[in-house]
Amino acid sequence: MASLQEVKSKINGVKKTKQITRAMNMVAASKLRGAQSAMEAFRPYAEKFAEVLGNIAGKAGDDVSPLLVEREEVNNVHAVLLTSDRGLCGGFNTNLIEKAEAFKEEQVSAGKNISFTNFGKKGRDWCRREKLTIVDEYIGVVGAKFGFNTASTSAQKLIDGFLNGDYDEVHIVYAQFLGMANQPPTVRQLLPIPVIGETGESESAADEEEQAYMAEHICEPSPDELLNTMLPRNIYIQLYNALLETSTSEHASRMRAMDNATKACDDMIDSLTLAYNKARQAEITMELMDIVGGAEALRG
């Protein structure tokens, strides 16, 4: 019976697939650990920076930096879209791209021009398909190992573009990492810098007593000048942080997707094995009936 062979080879095929999905799951798990430890290594720096920045911002005058000034007329909006380079990570990229698309629609319907900087192949491919303006693209960053200088170089380009007047606003679309099963795609404004004090979640770390104490700092050079050197770095930090979170989220998503795939393979193998056994049983029964029928005929 041919179907017996077919079922057998189908089972073998699914088993092979399962091996692959399980291997990918383990690879993602180990990359996830790496990405998480990079995030953890960054936290002390980010927290300290936010604390110092918050203090300085309180002391410096308003509008000391053009990076803080809202443009009266916003015509050109720039979006930085962070996605992964590879697929097989569940709805990860789809979710990010949906978010980006909604953001784009919103801007376009308000009569603004939008351009993109892409980190990651998936987002870039989407931009190409949609024939959107791509200013810059970085492949091989998200999900891989990257240093702070990757973020600072590209962030500086964004700042330059903003200062030149190429863009009136810069936003970033990335996957926030809030836990293994929770990585919501998020849009955040990078430039002009929203009111400081709301930029980081870590601000609360510095309690009020410390704030009062810190207020007596001597600053060199003046608070205004210090703020001016800190603000661009703040953008680097935000971008670096978004890259770290997106990478971590990518690995977490892939891990989950591959885990589900492995489970689905198990289910399929179970039901195929059942079908195989049934078919085999049917064949044996048929053969037995043949033999019995033959014996009966001889005797008769």
- Binding stretches for another protein (CB under 8 A): 38, 41-42, 44-46, 48-49, 52, 55-56, 147-149, 152, 213-214, 216-221, 225-226, 229-230, 233, 237, 240
The DSSP code for 193 is P
- Measured from the CB of residue 223, what is the shortest distance to another protein in angstroms? 9
Nearer to another protein, 25 or 238 (CB): 238
**Distance in Å, CB of 41 to another protein, minimum:** 5
Tell me which DSSP letter residue 166 carries: S
Across 85-168, the runs of DSSP E, i.e. the strands, are: 113-119, 133-138
CB of 198 to another protein, least distance (A): 21
Q: What minimum distance in Å lies between the beta carbon of 60 and another protein?
A: 12
From 89, 127, 219, 265, the catalytic residue? 89
- Cβ pair 45, 275 in contact under 8 A: no
Q: Is 251 helix (H, G, I), strand (E, B) or coil?
A: helix
User: Toward another protein, which CB reaches closer, 225 or 259?
Assistant: 225
Residue with smaller CB distance to another protein, 168 or 245: 245
Tell me the closest approach of the beta carbon of residue 100 to another protein, in angstroms: 26
Helix segments in 167-207, DSSP class H: none
Query: Residue 155: CB partners within 8 Å, gap ≥ 6?
Result: 232, 235, 236, 238, 239, 240
- β-partners of residue 71 are none
> Which residue lies nearer to another protein by CB, 42 or 276?
42
Which is closer to another protein, CB of 185 or CB of 223? Answer: 223
β-bridge partners, 187: 173
Distance of closest approach, residue 221 Cβ to another protein, in angstroms = 6
Q: Which residue has the tokens 């009569």?
A: 111
DSSP per-residue string spanning 57-76: HHHSPTT-SGGGPPPSS--E
**Closer to another protein at the Cβ: 50 or 265?**
50
- Residue 90: CB atoms within 10 Å: 19
| Active-site annotation holds for 265 | no
Buried b / exposed e across 47-57, counting CB within 10 Å, b at 16+?
Answer: bebbbebbbbb
Residue from 197, 196, 178, 194 nearest 186 by CA: 178
CA dist 196 and 252 (Å) reads 31
Residues in the chain, overall count: 300
d(CA 128, CA 103): 17
Q: Catalytic positions, please?
A: 89
